[in-house]
């Protein structure tokens, strides 16, 4: 694991193929829908009902949009038996993934940067705890059985890779049975 944390993060984005425009899968509203068509809510059907989150890209940036990797991870989380487990979502953004875990019976802590917390609290509607957590923090972390992280790695933000990895590793080392589940779309 230490080798992964020390490698050059730009290696993650080397791709010999020329860039191509990808076809939308239609799982989530795209930038054009949210900004130009005023789409303000995303709802995901789960085993236990519906989980809805507000969207506000123009006001709050990328953390207030539901990205495809978050939908994939939320659908996976919905298949798990999480009753009574402690789940922490890193870089929660809208909170969709963690809120699906909460709907499945987990005790959830949604985390993000201070400027995202009011938006995140509004989406959580009291179904999950919300707290500030900057990546790179490794002390006084709350106990967790599962750490979730969806679409938090972006080209051009490689300086965040190591702090995010350090935080994930700290969670994993703090509890032998803790697992981390990450979803990421290569862009």
Residue 119: inside a domain: yes
Q: Could you tell me if residue 51 is inside a domain?
A: no
* CATH number of the domain where residue 144 is located: 3.40.50.150
Q: Lowest mean pLDDT: which of 33-37, 85-89, 173-177?
A: 33-37
Secondary structure (3-state) at 39: coil
pLDDT tens for each residue of 74-125: 999 999 999 999 999 999 999 999 999 999 999 999 999 998 899 999 999 9
Structure confidence at residue 47 as a pLDDT band (50, 70, 90): very high
Q: Domains in the chain: how many in total?
A: 1
| Structural domain contains residue 20 | no
Q: Is residue 146 part of a domain?
A: yes
Element housing 111 (H / E): strand 107-112
pLDDT attached to residue 13: 45
Quick check: is 135 in a domain?
Answer: yes
Query: Could you tell me which residues are beta bridge partners of residue 183?
Result: 150
**Using CA atoms in the order 69, 152, 110, 173, what is the torsion angle rounded to 10 degrees?**
110
Contact predicate 104/78, CB 8 Å = yes
Q: Could you give the C-alpha distances from 28 to 44, 93, 182, in angstroms and in order?
A: 10, 15, 18
Q: Which residues form the domain of 170?
A: 68-183
pLDDT at 35 over 60: no
Residue 59 lies in a domain: no
For 38, 63, 111, 132, 187, the CA distances from 167, given in Å and listed in that order, are 35, 19, 12, 13, 23
Q: Tell me whether residue 36 is in a domain.
A: no
Query: What is the helix (H) or strand (E) element at residue 107, kind and residue range?
Result: strand 107-112
Look at residue 56 and tell me if it is in a domain: no
Strand pairing class (146-150; 179-183): parallel
Q: How confident is the model over 163-177, as a mean pLDDT?
A: 93
């Amino acid at each position: 694991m230490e080798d992964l944390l020390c490698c050059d993060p730009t290696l993650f984005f080397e791709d010999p193929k020329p860039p191509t425009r990808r076809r939308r899968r239609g799982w989530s509203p795209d930038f054009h829908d949210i900004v130009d068509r005023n789409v303000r809510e995303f709802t995901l059907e789960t085993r236990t009902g519906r989980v809805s989150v507000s969207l506000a890209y123009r006001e709050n940036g990328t953390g207030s949009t539901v990205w495809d990797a978050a939908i994939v991870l939320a659908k996976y989380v919905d298949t798990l038996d999480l009753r009574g487990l402690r789940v922490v979502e890193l870089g929660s953004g809208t909170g969709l993934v963690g809120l699906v875990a909460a709907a499945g019976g987990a005790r959830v802590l949604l985390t993000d940067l201070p400027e995202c917390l009011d938006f995140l609290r509004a989406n959580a509607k009291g179904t999950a705890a919300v707290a500030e957590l900057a990546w790179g923090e490794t002390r006084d972390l709350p106990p967790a059985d599962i750490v979730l992280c969806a679409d938090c790695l972006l080209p051009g933000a490689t300086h965040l890779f190591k702090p995010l990895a350090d935080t994930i590793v700290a969670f994993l080392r703090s509890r032998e049975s803790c697992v981390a589940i990450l979803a990421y779309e290569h862009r």
